Structure 1
Amino acid sequence: MSQTTYFFSIEDTSPSLEYQPWVDGDYTTGWQMWYTGSAFSQGSPGAEGTGVSYHSTSLFGANVTFHFYGTGFTLYGQSNCSFNVGVDGEVVATQLSSLNNVLYTDGDLSQGQHTVTLTATPNSTSSQILSFDGVVLSNSIPQSSGALVPRIFDNTDYDALQYFGNWTVQTDPRVPSVAHPASFHQTNISGASVFLNFTGRAVLVNGTVDSTSGRYSVELDGQMTLSNGSTSWFVPDALLFYMDGLDPNSTHLLNITNVDDGLTLQLNTFTVYSNVLTSGGASSGSGHSISGGLIAGVVVAVVAVIIILVLALSRRRRI
Structure 2
Amino acid sequence: MSRNLSLTDTSPMLVYTDDWQTYFSGSGYNTQDGQLGQGSSVHLTSRNGAQISLDFFGNAIFLYGNGTYDVSLDDVVASTGAKNGLLFAKDGLAEKNHSVTLTARMDGAQTFGFAAAIIGCASSVVDERAFDDADPFFSYSPNWITFSAPGVPNATTTLPFHQTTVSGASVAFTFSDASTVAVHGTLNSGHGRYSVALDGDTAKVLSGDGRWLVPDTVVFFQTGLDPTQKHSINITNLDDDKKFVLSSVVLNPVASSFEDEPASTASSSVHTPTAVGSEQFEQRRPERGVIIGASVGGVVGLALFATLGMVVTAKQLGRTLNKYFKDHPSVTIIRIDYNDVKNEVCWELPDGTASGEVGGEGIFPHIYGRCMHKSDIESVAVWDRQDGAWDAALESGAAWLVY
TM-score band, normalised by shorter chain: 0.7 to 0.9
Q: Distance in 2 between matches of 1:208 and 1:54?
A: 16
Superposition deviation, residue 296 in structure 1: 5.1
1:36 corresponds to:
25
Superposition deviation, residue 267 in structure 1: 0.6
2:89 corresponds to:
105
CA distance 1:180–1:161, shift in 2 (3 Å): same
Superposition deviation, residue 301 in structure 1: 1.9
Superposition deviation, residue 121 in structure 1: 2.6
Contact 1:61 1:120 survives alignment (8 Å): yes
Superposition deviation, residue 313 in structure 1: 8.0
Mapped pair 1:184 → 2:156:
no
For residue 247 of structure 2, what is the amino acid of its counterpart? N
1:297 corresponds to:
280
Contact 1:77 1:131 survives alignment (8 Å): yes
TM-score after normalising by structure 1: 0.81
CA distance 1:312–1:258, shift in 2 (3 Å): farther
Of 234, 243, 246, 2:222 maps to 243
Of 223, 228, 234, 2:207 maps to 228
For residue 37 of structure 1, what is the amino acid of its counterpart? G
Q: Distance in 1 between matches of 2:72 and 2:272?
A: 25
Between Structure 1 and Structure 2, which shows a larger proportion of strand residues?
Answer: 1
Contact 1:133 1:298 survives alignment (8 Å): no
Q: Distance in 1 between matches of 2:226 and 2:187?
A: 30
- Tell me the secondary structure at the aligned position of residue 206 of structure 1: strand
CA distance 1:75–1:289, shift in 2 (3 Å): closer
Mapped pair 1:133 → 2:115:
yes
For residue 18 of structure 1, what is the amino acid of its counterpart? V
Superposition deviation, residue 74 in structure 1: 1.2
- Tell me the secondary structure at the aligned position of residue 45 of structure 1: coil
Q: How many residues align?
A: 282
2:149 corresponds to:
172
Matches within 5 A, 1:56-71: 56-71=44-59
Superposition deviation, residue 258 in structure 1: 0.7
CA distance 1:294–1:312, shift in 2 (3 Å): farther
Contact 1:134 1:294 survives alignment (8 Å): no
Q: Distance in 2 between matches of 1:58 and 1:177?
A: 29
- Tell me the secondary structure at the aligned position of residue 314 of structure 2: helix
Mapped pair 1:6 → 2:3:
yes
CA distance 1:313–1:19, shift in 2 (3 Å): farther
Contact 1:188 1:264 survives alignment (8 Å): yes
Superposition deviation, residue 50 in structure 1: 3.0
Contact 2:60 2:270 survives alignment (8 Å): no
For residue 122 of structure 1, what is the amino acid of its counterpart? M
Contact 2:113 2:308 survives alignment (8 Å): no
CA distance 1:61–1:115, shift in 2 (3 Å): same
- Tell me the secondary structure at the aligned position of residue 118 of structure 1: strand
Superposition deviation, residue 302 in structure 1: 3.6
For residue 57 of structure 1, what is the amino acid of its counterpart? T
CA distance 1:177–1:303, shift in 2 (3 Å): closer
Q: What is the CA deviation profile of residues 166-211 of structure 1, one whole-angstrom value per residue up to 9, with x for unaligned ones? A: 1111111322124332211111111111010111211110011111
Q: Distance in 1 between matches of 2:63 and 2:56?
A: 13
Superposition deviation, residue 293 in structure 1: 5.2
Superposed CA RMSD in Å reads 2.5
Q: Distance in 2 between matches of 1:35 and 1:310?
A: 16
Q: Distance in 1 between matches of 2:104 and 2:187?
A: 26
Q: Distance in 2 between matches of 1:209 and 1:139?
A: 27
Of 137, 154, 159, 1:160 maps to 137
Q: What is the CA deviation profile of residues 238-281 of structure 1, one whole-angstrom value per residue up to 9, with x for unaligned ones? A: 1101111111011111011111111100110011229xxxxxxx
Superposition deviation, residue 315 in structure 1: 9.1
For residue 93 of structure 2, what is the amino acid of its counterpart? L
Q: Distance in 2 between matches of 1:13 and 1:310?
A: 23
| 5+ residue gaps, structure 2 | 254-268, 283-302, 320-375, 377-403
Contact 1:36 1:308 survives alignment (8 Å): no
Mapped pair 1:72 → 2:60:
yes
1:87 corresponds to:
73
Q: Distance in 2 between matches of 1:39 and 1:119?
A: 24
Q: Distance in 2 between matches of 1:155 and 1:51?
A: 24
Contact 1:6 1:288 survives alignment (8 Å): no
Q: Distance in 2 between matches of 1:205 and 1:88?
A: 25
- Tell me the secondary structure at the aligned position of residue 75 of structure 1: strand
